[in-house]
């Protein structure tokens, strides 16, 4: 497989491949498959998210924290490790090494801030 550079088109391909794996994963799959009705729309949203994060495109206008808080009864810290492991595999396989490393570092930081919001809130 050719190694992709960081561009919108490549990010869309990456997101599509990643969520195909997520949906097939025994632990993560059911959560996503229950939550998401319109997969093409979700994949567009996630491609826009990564485009905003990596390319500062401003294409994503959403609120990831409340989106995940809705599902906090089903999401565990161990599932975050699984998510990140799948992300690392997919980015290593599809992206050029520098791009893969940058995508992995970003995901790790975002995962940490989602975890803080979900599991370590002091106000409840």
Using CB under 6 A as the binding rule, the residues of this chain from 40 to 69 that contact ligand HEM are 45-46, 49, 62-64, 67-68
Query: Is there binding between residue 70 and ligand HEM (CB under 6 A)?
Result: yes
We find the least distance from the C-beta atom of residue 4 to ligand HEM, in angstroms, to be 18
Q: What are the φ/ψ torsions at residue 2 (nearest 5 degrees)?
A: -70, 145
Q: How far apart are CA 92 and CA 100, in angstroms?
A: 6
Location of structure tokens 């490790």: 81
Location of structure tokens 């565990």: 76
- Binds ligand HEM by CB under 6 A, chosen from 35, 55, 89, 105: 35
Using CB under 6 A as the binding rule, the residues of this chain from 90 to 119 that contact ligand HEM are 107, 110-111, 114
Q: How far apart are CA 27 and CA 25, in angstroms?
A: 6
Q: What is the DSSP string of 61-89?
A: ---HHHHHHTTTTT--HHHHHHHHHHHHH
Tokens of residue 48, six digits? 């826009």
- Pick the piece of the chain touching ligand HEM (CB under 6 A) from 1-9, 11-19, 26-34, 94-102: 26-34
Q: Which residues bind ligand HEM (CB under 6 A)?
A: 28, 31-32, 35-36, 45-46, 49, 62-64, 67-68, 70-71, 75, 79-80, 83, 107, 110-111, 114
């Amino acid at each position: 497989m050719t190694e992709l550079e960081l561009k919108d088109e490549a990010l869309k391909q990456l997101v599509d491949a990643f969520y195909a794996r997520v949906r097939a994963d025994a632990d993560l799959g059911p959560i996503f498959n229950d939550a998401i009705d319109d997969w093409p729309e979700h994949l567009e949203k996630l491609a826009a998210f990564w485009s905003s994060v990596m390319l500062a495109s401003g294409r994503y206008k959403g609120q990831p924290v409340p989106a995940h808080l809705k599902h906090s009864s089903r999401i565990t810290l161990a599932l975050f490790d699984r998510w990140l492991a799948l992300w690392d595999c997919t980015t290593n396989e599809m992206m050029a090494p520098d791009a893969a490393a940058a995508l992995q570092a970003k995901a790790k930081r975002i995962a940490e801030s989602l975890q803080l919001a979900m599991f370590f809130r002091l106000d409840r």
